């Protein structure tokens, strides 16, 4: 996945959270753009509502170790 494509997904993560799976079996969810920052060759994910990162305040995920990126179901429930 290109950095530009991942930036778009992170920018929309308040509507559809993004799950990032790593080659070590761990996965991280970004549920709002404030908690994910796409840099050159890596994404930095910080703690946020509904998820904590193994006692750390943030994790750096190198693109070389990302195995899967997927959008999850919508954060917003439909109101009639």
The pTM of the whole model exceeds 0.85: no
Strand partners, 45: 36, 59
Q: Give the CA distances from residue 60 to residues 66, 77, 79, 80, in Å, rounded to whole numbers and listed in that order.
A: 11, 31, 36, 40
Q: In the prediction, which pLDDT does 12 show? A: 95
Q: In the prediction, which pLDDT does 58 show? A: 92
Stretch among 7-16, 36-45, 50-59 having the lowest mean pLDDT: 50-59
Q: In the prediction, which pLDDT does 78 show? A: 47
| pLDDT tens-digit map of 1-25 | 788 999 999 999 999 999 999 999 9
CA distance 72 to 50: 14
């Amino acid at each position: 996945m290109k950095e530009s494509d991942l930036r778009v997904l992170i920018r929309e993560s308040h509507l559809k959270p993004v799950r990032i799976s790593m080659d070590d079996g761990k996965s991280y969810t970004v549920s709002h753009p404030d908690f994910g920052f796409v840099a050159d060759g890596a994404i930095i994910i910080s703690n946020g509502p509904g998820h904590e990162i193994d006692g750390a305040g943030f994790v750096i995920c190198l693109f070389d170790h990302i195995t899967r990126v997927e959008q999850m179901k919508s954060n917003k429930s439909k109101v009639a």
